[in-house]
Amino acid sequence: MRLELGNVLIKDVQFGDTTKLEEGVLSINKQELIDILMEDEHLKKVEVDIAKPGEKVRITPVKDVIEPRVKVEGPGGVFPGILSKVDMVGSGKTNVLKGCAVMTTGKIVGFQEGIVDMSGPGADYTPFSKLINIVLVCDPVDGLKQHEHEKAVRLAGFKAAKYLGETARNVIPDEVKVYEVDTLTEGLKKYPNLPKVGYVQMLQTQGLLHDTYVYGVDAKQIIPTIMYPTESMDGAIVSGNCVSACDKNTTYHHLNNPVIEDLLKVHGKELNFVGVIITNENVYLADKERSSNMTAKLAEFLGLDAVIISQEGFGNPDTDLIMNCKKIEAKGIKTVIITDEYAGRDGASQSLADADKAADAVVTAGNANQVITLPPMDKVIGSLEYVDIIAGGFNGSLAEDGTITVEIQAITGATNEIGFSNLTARTY
């Protein structure tokens, strides 16, 4: 399996008469984009704005972030099973608009959507402040149910990303990154002396607006399965959830998963990256047992020596995380788990809702209960009326002058559990 990602570096984004990409400048016909999105009968109004790094702009409530892309060669298309037919992706050539993103906001869907500041102290906590964001402000028709509202906004983001990605179809990329992965038998023959490493990616699938989609299928309906690493990099997995903003995996995260990318960098050199096992996070105990049993079985079946396990969300999914860890360890396979912490504002509380002595190798993405004060911005895209009720906010979070005091769990991507974040740790 060979995937070529052609990065077209975006220097600027502006509105213009024609949607086109020339010399790194993306021009957007705003009305044409709005007309495409307004074809959805579930949307009453759509506005499009642009937010650039360093501007005194606040975007909230943020639902999803999507990187525009176009499939230029090979099977499949962008967002297979959703906007494109259900072909396997992960091979061929895909051009990427690198340095910009589509961001969705508008009337709040759930209560766990986030904040992105393009400057100030809040900008340091989110990687999305470094991108040029094309922001869709989507308002649903009156009386629309939450699940239909979430779907309408989700599809609007994907449609916009596809529309913008088409501008790069015939553009020569500024850089091309090539990722090659082997079948299981090929890898064992080529790298007999390298440790066999796998990646267990836990997908948020608790329902009630906590959903992730794999080739268009709600992942709570699947059982754990094996994927080529490049499938995720090519759009097989997309976000549809409204979990706490700090540790949710947006679609942008799935497309740019650093665990997968870092393992591929050393594949065939330091280790044999055998593949990805995707599993879900469940609500009921029987479902948790089933998925963790099958995840451990697949790790054993692949003959893995070690596994990295990443979580999405917190609280209830902590049990899925620890079940996966201890059952895989019981097979004689070493594990490292990636999570974040909800250790209280003083950092003194228990970090996870579950624990086991087998979970003795842990990478933390930070304490989501840490409190931050965000200064007022000159411009708000979206609405501030939900700040007091989003996860991480509280009654009185929003001051009259626009200052916001919240836990960093309200900042999109602040403690992301695949490591796509800015926080680091230091020993004094």
242 part of the active site:
yes
**Consecutive H or E run containing 231:** helix 229-233
Q: What is the DSSP letter of 114?
A: E
> Which run of H or of E encompasses 43?
strand 43-51
Quote the CA–CA distance of 406 and 370 in Å, as a whole number.
Answer: 8
CA gap 50, 15 in Å, rounded: 9
Half-sphere exposure of 366 (CA within 13 A, CB side): 25
**Structural contact between residues 316 and 220, judged by C-beta atoms closer than 8 angstroms:** no
Separation CA 74–CA 76 (nearest Å): 7
Q: Choose, from 100, 242, 246, 325, the residue flagged as catalytic.
A: 242
Q: In whole angstroms, give the CA distance from residue 281 to residue 321.
A: 8
Ramachandran category for residue 2: left, alpha or beta (phi over 0 → left; psi -120 to 50 → alpha): beta
Q: Which two tokens stand for residue 190?
A: 């080529």
Measured distance CA(297)–CA(198) in Å, rounded: 13
Name the 3-class secondary structure at 101: strand
- In a 3-state reduction of DSSP, which class is residue 301? helix
Q: CA distances (Å), 387 to each of 114, 159, 244, in order?
A: 9, 28, 13
Mention every residue, 6+ apart, whose C-beta is less than 8 A from residue 369.
341, 342, 343, 344, 345, 347, 349, 407, 408, 409
Q: Please name which of 95, 79, 7 lies closest in space to residue 254, comparing C-alpha atoms.
A: 79
Residue 198 main-chain phi, psi, to 5 deg: -125, 165
Supply the residues annotated as catalytic: 242
